[in-house]
Amino acid sequence: MRWSAAFLLALYLVLVARLTLADPSSGRLVFAFADAVATRLSAGRLEWSETEVLANIALFVPAGFLLAVVLGRPMLSMVVCVLGAACIELAQQRFLPSRVPSRADVEHNGLGGLFGALLAWPFAARWARMPEDQKQPMVA
């Protein structure tokens, strides 16, 4: 289970890097999709700024979940998500003049990592209780 979660985490982090560290126009389709879904679900009551907050939270939920499964330590995965979000914002500030870094993005990404880690808590607890021989992948 951990190997597949680690593989999915690596793929997901490539997507996160693409969305957060590339020119904003490269993620235009993803952002337009998020805005359309939020507008539809809220019956037009959400503005883009509110959708962006929700998108920043949602972006790190899978990362927090998968990281908690891989590490087996949900609290540590929450910390790693916040540090990762801070590194992304720092990289945007230093190297990407077309991006607008903000502390609020770190907070929202960290909240998403928290939600993901909390969702993974039962899996991590179950993994910790498993006998060691059941944790190893079976070899044919």
At how many degrees (to 10) do helices 103-129 and 74-95 cross? 150
Assign 98 to helix, strand or coil. coil
pLDDT at 139: 38
pLDDT in tens, 80-113: 999 999 999 999 999 988 888 999 999 999 999 9
Q: What is the mean pLDDT of residues 112-126?
A: 87
55-85, pLDDT tens digit by residue?
A: 999 999 999 999 998 988 889 999 999 999 9
**CA 24 to CA 110: how far, in whole Å?**
21
The domains of the chain are located at 2-25+52-131
